[in-house]
Amino acid sequence: MSEHILNICYLVASVTFILGLKMLSNPASARKGNLVAAGGMSIAIFATIFLYRNAETGEHLHNFGWIFCGLIIGGIAGTLAAKKVKMTAMPEMVSLFNGMGGACAALISLVEFNHLSKELALNPGSEFIASSQSTVLIIVLGLIIGSVSFAGSMIAWGKLNGKIKDFSFTGQNVLNLVFLLVALVLGAYLVTNPLHANFIYIIFILALLYGVLFVMPIGGADMPVVISLLNSFTGVAAAFGGFLYNNKVMLTGGILVGAAGTLLTILMCKAMNRSLKNVLVGSFGGNKNAVATGAGAQGNYKEITLSDAAMLMSYANKVMIVPGYGLAVAQAQHTCHELEKILAEKGVEVKYAIHPVAGRMPGHMNVLLAEADVNYEKLEEMEQANDEFKTTDVVLILGANDVVNPAAKTDPASPIYGMPILEVEQAKTIIVNKRSMKPGYAGIENNLFFQPKTSMLFGDAKKVLQDLCTEIKTV
């Protein structure tokens, strides 16, 4: 009876995963979708704890003290981390949590292989070895993918919070391939000869080294793609765990995460007009020392006063706001929303132009603005925004750099050439808020800042927006 109830719980949980993922595609329903999926996961976890029974021995789970102790510690740590994290630190938190998923998948593989190797030691016959090969294959694949995801996510976490710098050397890609190929060859050998138990640890170490070296040279605007790719790795590794335990809900969840992460990675590469191979092998932004950062070679820029900016925006018919990482750093999303409301009261049409890879992770700007209760209907995706810039009086760029860089269209020598951008230069007037004239995250100079219709408004985004709100109220 308990087995049937468990299967029903798994079915319900699987449905909630699918519904939750569907709801996450719309910011208006994303919060509810997250809760729906979390509810389904809770059902699956507690159903497993209390209803699961070993098919061979008929035993239920025990050691409830250890199980609930782990749940409580992990639950408290996760809740505190999620509540305290700043929006600017959200990408590294996503990387950290994703890495924990990869680590779990890798540890599951190590533990289960240890159990299997003990059984093989007691039953070294060829028939038992042959029957165990499919299990060993699943274990090896889960170990390699989970380890790569864990190590890569930890490096991505360190790079995003500035603790780890971009690092590469001549022949690194070749060395990466050597590590991966050796791990795969050893894995194939272990599948056919599972009695060589020590090979599993060599594979584990090689996969970790590959994960580190795989992400280490990647930097700049490529990091959102890497985060998405690593997320898909964790999902695939979890799916192998579902195969290993014949757990339907674990399999479903892993497939959904793996498929969603893969599709998102492909879409982001398309948005950047680059292949995944080009992102992983020829990343831009990893070597900022090679990029000129001075303004002398580009020309002169002009500044605009707060009062002039307030006047332009107050008497405009349409204002488009382009949010970037600078907005997140300043925690200025609420002030930005206040500016939008003040302008709307004056009869100005205000919309937001969102680039797919703005910020440090997929959907970073959408999450940022949703936190400030910005109406989702005011958010324009890149294609829609580019159609509207021609009829826009003022574009206000808040900390965005690479996603508005005309070099992507005009300079074949630029590393970002061919990447679709927000074509803000089509608007009548462009106001750029930055702390300084330093290049963006990709380390590439932006000629937009030196064009005649562009004016610079230097300062912290939150302070500038607060002052703008005050000025506009007096106009």
CA 475 to CA 471: how far, in whole Å?
Answer: 7
d(CA 282, CA 416): 11
Rounded distance between C-alpha atoms, residue 194 and residue 244, angstroms: 16
Token pair for 362:
């997929």
392: how many CB neighbours lie within 10 A of its CB?
22
CB atoms within 10 A of CB 290: 8
List, in sequence order, the alpha helices (H) in 372-412: 382-388, 407-410
CB 328 within 8 A of CB 322: no
Q: How many other β-carbons are positioned within 10 Å of the β-carbon of residue 338?
A: 16
Q: What does the block give as tokens for 404?
A: 């508005």
DSSP state string for 150-185: HHHHHHHHHHHTTSS-----TTHHHHHHHHHHHHHH
Strand-pair partners of 455: 431
C-alpha torsion sign, points 411, 416, 418, 422: negative
- HEC string of 328-346 equals HHCCCHHHHHHHHHHHHHC
Beta bridge partners of 409: none
Distance (Å) of CA 235 to CA 100, 149, 254, 455: 12, 10, 4, 45
408, 91, 19, 104: CA torsion to nearest 10: 130
What's the start-to-end Cα distance of the chain, in Å?
Answer: 73
- Do the beta carbons of residue 421 and residue 434 sit within 8 Å? no
Residues known to be catalytic: 402
Residues sharing a CB contact under 8 Å with residue 428, sequence separation 6 or more, in sequence order: 392, 393, 394, 453
Contacts for 201 with CB less than 8 Å, ≥ 6 apart = none
Find out whether 429 and 394 touch, Cβ atoms under 8 Å: yes
Question: How many residues would you count in the chain?
Answer: 475
| 3-state SS, residue 287 | coil
Rg (CA), the chain: 26
